[in-house]
Amino acid sequence: MMRKEKEIDEGLVRQMAQLLDETGLTEIEYSAKDWRLRVVRQPAPVTMTAPAAAAPMVPAPAAAPVAEVRRADHPGALKSPMVGTVYLAPEPGAAQFVKPGDTVREGQTLMIIEAMKVMNPIPAPRSGTIAEIAVANGEPVEYGQLLAVVE
């Protein structure tokens, strides 16, 4: 017995490709109950011309500074659960949900991430004090990126 393959929803593929253009991302994935769709765009090749004279060697920057690594491993580190655009206020011109130094309770909305035209509230992982907000309003964020630290 032959298994009938699902037809590709060209509209969804086009919508996801447009989202890649709008956000500058190179990859996006969407899944439903029994299927998933992944759209990947290879970045354009970078062409470089060699300089006439060799520039002096500059040491490469070290990997992530120790303080940054410790922040990401902090038990109160809040990492992005998705790819999207982060908003620190409920609407343009409104006050931010929270600022560094504010006391929050577990589950309180700290920010919103817009993904595929859906606004997703991002709750505090635990009660405590906002030690740091590591993103800027309107900034694109990646999955797993540090958003804030709650101590």
Sequence spans of domains, the chain? 10-40, 68-150
Q: What phi and psi, each to the nearest 5 degrees, are found at residue 50?
A: -75, 140
Greater model confidence, 73 or 126: 126
Place of tokens 């982060």: 86
What tens digit of pLDDT does each residue of 28-50 get? 777 777 777 777 776 655 555 55
Cβ 101 vs Cβ 69: under 8 Å: no
CATH for 68-150? 2.40.50.100
The DSSP symbol for 24 reads T
Smallest CA-to-CA distance from 136 within 145, 147, 128 is with: 147
At 10, the amino acid letter reads: E
- Sort 135 into a burial class: Cβ within 10 Å, 0-12 / 13-18 / 19+: buried
CB 28 within 8 A of CB 20: yes
Work out the end-to-end distance of the chain between its first and last CA atoms, rounded to an integer number of angstroms: 58
| Higher-pLDDT residue of 57, 84 | 84
DSSP code per residue over 93-141: TSPPS--TT-EE-TT-EEEEEEETTEEEEEE-SSSEEEEEE-S-TT-EE
Token readout for 33 is 């109950």
- Return d(Cα 87, Cα 24) in angstroms, integer: 17
Q: What is the pLDDT of residues 60-113, one digit of tens each?
A: 555 445 444 456 677 788 898 999 999 999 888 888 899 999 999 988 889 999
Instruction: Check: CB of residue 26 under 8 Å from CB of residue 42.
Output: yes
pTM over 0.85: no
